Structure 1
Amino acid sequence: MTTPYGQQAALRRPSGGTAVLAGLLALALAGVLGYLPVRTFIDFGINDLPDKAKIVLGLYLGAALLLLIGALVTFFRALAGGVLLILAALAAIGAVVAEPLLLFPGQFTQFFKAVFQLQLDDSWVRIAGVAGGFVVLVLSVLPATFRYLRYRPADPGYPVQPCPPRAW
């Protein structure tokens, strides 16, 4: 689109609302998901846990680290931040879903029934992992997020004249 004088119209800077909100929620979710492994390692120690429990806690910790890195990269307006947030949100949901598959095989529905009735210790972490992961995923895949992350302002260059120069 051009102006009436044939010059290129200035592009509007896209709003960063979805990208910033996804980054802030990812930071909060990283703290929540990182709480569970840290608390478990402090309470029980790493040597006293079964191998499958270590894998589950590693999944939670890995998802938390991905969320943290994705949020920080998104705040620096890099396109990779949006992609990292998508992968991190999927990892957060996957960590919560993998827990009953690894630790309680055959009791998938009973596990989530107990989680959503808040009968387990730290059930709120698992609920936040699923709900927060889904919200971060939705915010990360929105076109407005990637439009904001891809936008680079033009070099200032020469000032644009409001009207064509006079021809004497």
Structure 2
Amino acid sequence: MPPTQAPTSKAKTRSEINYGLLPELVGYQLRMAQIALFRDFAQGPGELDVTPGLFGVLVIIEANPDLKQSDLARATHLDRSTVVTVIDNLERRGLVDRRAALHDRRSNALRLTTEGTALLRKLKRQVTQHEKRLLGNFSEAERQSLFKLLQKVFPEHR
């Protein structure tokens, strides 16, 4: 029997790994961009125990006082049960008030609390810095072009 060769423990570096067709796929490129975004977000606004999704929920509620939970679910593309969990969390943290909707007592209307408004003000400053870091290598024209191109992928978000 021929002697077996001992396995090498040398790990391949990122540049040595063949990713096949992945770099040619829009989904892969969007996912890599999302990973970079989330990592940077975690070092700023994320330190306040807020994810990009939660930040988006707070912004939508602030911009639409007394928004119904069902409308928030549609706006965020989340199912209703997920929105209930998110709002429960925000309510527990004292950031959102949930009350019966004015014209539909079966629905809940959402509004930021004073604490929620103060936190969102701070988060907006941090998110502005986060965006500047992420897009620092882009000219204004490139930034606008990027947004326009991404909106072509998801036209219902315009």
Structure number with higher strand proportion: 2
User: Which TM-score band applies after superposition, normalised by the shorter structure?
Assistant: under 0.3
Larger relative contact order (C-alpha < 8 A, sep ≥ 6)? 1
Q: Scaled by the length of structure 1, what TM-score is found? A: 0.24
Bigger CA radius of gyration: 1
Structure number with higher helix proportion: 1
